[in-house]
Amino acid sequence: MKYPYVFVLAFLCVFTLVPLVRLLAINIGFVDRPTARKIHKVPIPLSGGVAIYAGVIITAAVFMHDTLLFKAVATGGAVLVLIGLADDAFKSRGRDFPVWPRLILYTIVSYIPYAFGIAIKGVSSPSAASMILFSDSWSMIFTMLWVFALINMLNFIDGVDGLASGITVISSLTLFVASLVSHQEVTSLAALAIAGACLAFLAYNFHPARIFMGDAGATFLGYMLSVIAMDGTLKGATFLSLLVPLLALGVPILDTAIVFARRLLQGKGLHHADNLHTHHSLMKWGLSQVQTVSFLYLIAAVFALLSVVIVLLLHPI
């Protein structure tokens, strides 16, 4: 049984690496400095994404190094961590990284899973009696849209201590159950690696945070979750099974939908940073950071339970 070892190894790798990368970030001034839009009041190291990526990839290299899933997440993840570190470096100097280089690289990364054969290939009928297969072009488009969206969605919710890492733990464990029930071992291992890595990071990232994952970590986690969901339930989904990843990733998806709707109503650009996210609204209503995060954890847990119920309906034990 590999599963406990995967979880423990990912947890120990990240738990050990975070203090090291945090100390290095402090020494070189690689920190997120407070601004009028941000909640924290003191500079916080931005290097957590490096530890998360290293922990997940080390674990995956040990247990699933010869799989296409490993090659896809290692390659795409490396590009995202590098561009994320560049973005975080600009933040540490009080500047904004240009939008277009990020969007171009996110688009390129969104193609990587498809290049390794991990794609949304079709949708079957509710009875699974027939299958609508997408052409190669449409398969590529749907795959890239899904990956691109999740890369950004996880990044969007990373605005309160412990939110992105905690939501990722819940989402990845949900995808682990879905993969386990449907006998997808590689996907199950990858989901557990993320859960272990993020739980370890949460020990340092929960309020008051001692380190942030930065764009490098948030975009990598969004990419990982999108690829795992796609390699599992989205590969050739029934209409009902489409709900599994949508519910498992319900909090970032719902938050993005709400924010985009608000920005459109206010005539703002969709890519401009603001205080319209769900966690900002909850705090404006008087909730503390811990209360806000706990409430969103609860919402994520409800979505997760609904997702598991659907999985069990599709694959009775």
pLDDT in tens, 98-115: 888 999 999 999 999 999
Local structure of residue 41 (DSSP, 8 states): S
Q: Report yes or no: 191 and 60 within 8 Å, Cβ to Cβ.
A: no
Q: What is the mean pLDDT of residues 199-212?
A: 96
Are 172 and 198 contacting, i.e. CB atoms less than 8 angstroms apart? yes
Q: Is this structure's pTM higher than 0.75? A: yes
| Residue 20 CB partners (closer than 8 Å, separation 6+) | 51
Place of tokens 């071992």: 185
Selected residue with higher pLDDT from 32 and 80 = 80
Distance separating alpha carbons of residues 283 and 296, to the nearest angstrom = 12
Contact 206, 166 (CB under 8 A): yes
pLDDT of residue 122: 78
Joined together, the tokens standing for residue 295 give 């409430």
CB-based contact 77:57 (threshold 8 Å): yes
| More confidently predicted of 272 and 25 | 25
Nearest-angstrom CA–CA distance, 110 and 191:
19
d(Cα 276, Cα 298) in Å, to the nearest integer? 20
Average pLDDT on 259-284 reads 71
Between residues 301 and 128, the one the model is more confident about: 301
- State residue 108's pLDDT score: 97
Q: Which of 151, 99, 110, 81 is nearest to 273 (CA)?
A: 99
Is the pLDDT score of 203 beyond 60?
A: yes
Q: Is the pLDDT of residue 271 over 60?
A: no
| Spatial distance between the Cα atoms of 11 and 287, rounded to a whole number of angstroms | 30
Number of domains in the chain: 1
What integer is the mean pLDDT of 184-188? 93
Q: Tell me what pLDDT residue 165 has.
A: 97
- Under the banding of pLDDT at 50, 70 and 90, the label for residue 4 is very high
* Residue 237 pLDDT > 60: no
Domain containing residue 115: 3-314
Give the C-alpha separation, 193 to 169, whole Å.
10
Instruction: Give tens-digit pLDDT for 44-95.
Output: 999 999 999 999 999 999 999 999 999 999 999 999 999 999 999 998 888 8
Start-to-end CA span in the chain (Å): 19
Quickly state the pLDDT bin for 1 (edges 50, 70, 90): confident
3-state secondary structure of 124: strand
Element (H, E) at 34: none
Once rounded to an integer, what is the mean pLDDT over residues 122-147?
80
Q: Model confidence over 252-265: pLDDT tens digits?
A: 999 988 888 877 77
SS3 36: coil
Q: For residue 246, what pLDDT is reported?
A: 87
Dump pLDDT digits (tens) for 283-315. Answer: 888 899 999 999 999 999 999 999 999 888 877
Check residues 188 and 284 and name the one with the higher pLDDT. 188
pLDDT tops 70 at residue 273: no
115: helix, strand or coil: helix
Q: What is the average per-residue pLDDT within 154-167?
A: 93
Question: Under 8 Å CB-to-CB from 169, ≥6 apart: which residues?
Answer: 195, 198, 199, 202
What angle (nearest 5°) sits at the alpha carbon of residue 9, between those of residues 160 and 306?
Answer: 55
